Amino acid sequence: MKLDSYWLDTAPPLRSASDGPVDGQTDVAVIGGGFTGLSAAQALGQRGASVTVLDAGRIGGGASGRNGGQVNTGVAQDFAALVAQLGVERASACYRAFSDAVDTVERLVREENIDCDYIATGKLKLASKPHHLAHLEKTAEAIRRAVDTDIELIDGNGIRSEIQSDSFYGGLLQRHGGQMHMGKFVIGLAEAAVRRGAKIYENAAVTGIAKEGGGFRVTTARGEVRSKQVLIATGPSRHGPFGWYRRRLAPVGSFIVVTEPLAPAVLAQLFPNRRAYTTTRLMHNYFRVTPDSRLLFGGRARFTASEQPSDARSGRILHDGLTAMFPTLASARIDYCWGGLVDMSADRFPHAGQHDGIYYSLGYSGHGTQMSTHMGQVMADVMDGHEDRNPWREADWPAIPGHTGKPWFLPLVGTYYRIKDMFY
């Protein structure tokens, strides 16, 4: 079993990273080489801007290369609850923003000819308890009435046509969305940015950002660059001069296992439509079939940071959950196990805008694959003077009370969620 991301391990190499020192002048310095940063670099380059992308490690090595590979419409919060909290108009705007994000991913895959095994199969949210189905029915009614008619509530009698498991009592199918190979997509997006003139530096951790002469001097482990504008797209970085952002994000661990390749007949029986799946539990699971016929199965097995010993323990918890849902896969070998950090905001919304003259887009809260890619394109517009393009521009973003950057409270949150999940 490899304690590595399946996506990163099976992705092609990045052939166009810059080898020399970081130096010179650039229009935009993008800090973070994940989906947000690379998407922004592609869009800014298309406008004729010079762009320098700086990543502390490898391109896509953070959340962009460590997630479940789902590209779906749907906010992090339950839509019916969101309507009660924000009202129909604002809740619908949030939902449409995520729908637009799916469109952005599909457009980039098509226009840049990115070979990432994209398939548009939609998302099926599975009711883990009988009363969860009743709640999904209310959610479906609210979504259909306000913003999206292309959804379907599947009752207990019909769920077996979608998934062969005794663990579920129905589900909500949202057809607008799909899934792809995250590693191939991140490399394809990086190559697209380079074709537009961007320079990409790996292993170039940013150690300082200073205002200088109407712009910024960005210091890295590989040198310095002077830039007119800066975009922070680091995700939940625990290093570097990003304290203001760290106090507003909780880096929550999410963990994934991937099986050995499974027999086509087994997969056709268990997952006849190969959706992207997620469950309704608070300590929920998400899963899908990979392009090479493996089952990817993930979730917040433990509220802890991602480190190899922790990943292995979380992997054992996930394997137990996989076996409980799909007993026929109990003997399937686990080939990959890894973890990653989700940049969770307190309100579970993305946050994007400008702080102290520096642009940022962060806080995707577990729904970042499509939204981070979309926000890269949006931030290119914002930095070009079109602030009205930012769907999150009016959201306040206070620091998390008592949070100074190290998430000491995560074990307490995990215990609370596990107890609540027993009764929810």
Task: Count the neighbouring beta carbons within 10 Å of the beta carbon of residue 116.
Answer: 22
pLDDT for 234 equals: 95
Give a yes or no: residue 1 inside a domain. Answer: no
The per-type count for the chain, helices as H runs and strands as E runs, is 11, 18
Give the CA-trace dihedral at 416, 234, 367, 351, to 10 degrees: 90
> Is the separation of the CB atoms in 40 and 233 below 8 Å?
yes
Strands (E), 236-362: 250-259, 276-279, 285-289, 295-299, 334-344, 351-355, 358-362
* Count of structural domains within the chain: 1
Question: Which of 357, 256, 336, 269 has its CA nearest to residue 300?
Answer: 256
Return the structure tokens found at 10.
Answer: 């099976």
pLDDT for 90 equals: 93
Give a yes or no: residue 423 inside a domain. Answer: no
Task: Count the neighbouring beta carbons within 10 Å of the beta carbon of residue 218.
Answer: 26
110, containing H or E segment: helix 88-111
Give a yes or no: residue 367 inside a domain. Answer: yes
> Is the separation of the CB atoms in 54 and 238 below 8 Å?
no
Question: Which of 28, 36, 40, 26 has its CA nearest to residue 60?
Answer: 36
Give a yes or no: residue 424 inside a domain. Answer: no
pLDDT digit of tens for each residue in the chain (424 aa)?
899 999 999 999 999 999 999 999 999 999 999 999 999 999 999 999 999 999 999 999 999 999 999 999 877 668 988 999 899 999 999 999 999 999 999 999 999 999 999 999 999 999 999 999 999 999 999 999 999 999 999 999 999 999 999 999 999 999 999 999 999 999 999 999 999 999 999 999 999 999 999 999 999 999 999 999 999 999 888 789 999 999 999 888 889 999 999 999 999 999 999 999 999 987 789 999 999 999 999 997 455 555 556 677 888 899 999 999 999 999 999 999 998 888 889 998 999 999 999 999 999 988 899 999 999 999 999 999 999 999 999 899 999 998 877 766 666 555 555 666 655 6
Handedness of CA 130, 132, 134, 137 (dihedral sign): negative
Burial 388-412 (b: 16+ CB within 10 A, else e): eebbbeeeebebbeebebebeebee
For the question of whether the overall pTM of this predicted structure is more than 0.85, the answer is yes
Which CATH number does the domain housing residue 70 bear?
Answer: 3.50.50.60
pLDDT for 230 equals: 98
Write out the residue range of the structural domain in which residue 216 sits: 6-414
Give a yes or no: residue 422 inside a domain. Answer: no
pLDDT for 238 equals: 78
Alpha carbon of 30 to those of 54, 248, 308, 348: distances in Å? 6, 20, 29, 24
Return the structure tokens found at 304.
Answer: 């802890």
Return the structure tokens found at 398.
Answer: 């206070």
pLDDT for 256 equals: 95
pLDDT for 235 equals: 87
Give a yes or no: residue 134 inside a domain. Answer: yes
Rounded CA gap, 54 and 203, in Å?
8
Give a yes or no: residue 420 inside a domain. Answer: no
Decide the pairing of beta strands 25-31 and 223-232: parallel
Q: Where are the alpha helices (DSSP H) in 208-272?
A: 243-246, 264-270
Task: Count the neighbouring beta carbons within 10 Å of the beta carbon of residue 67.
Answer: 25
Q: Which amino acid is at 335?
A: D
DSSP for 188-218, please give it.
HHHHHHHHTT-EEESS--EEEEEEETTEEEE
Using only C-alpha atoms, what is the Rg of the chain?
21
pLDDT for 262 equals: 98
Burial 279-292 (b: 16+ CB within 10 A, else e): bbbebbbbbbbbee
Per-residue DSSP letter, 248: T
Give a yes or no: residue 221 inside a domain. Answer: yes
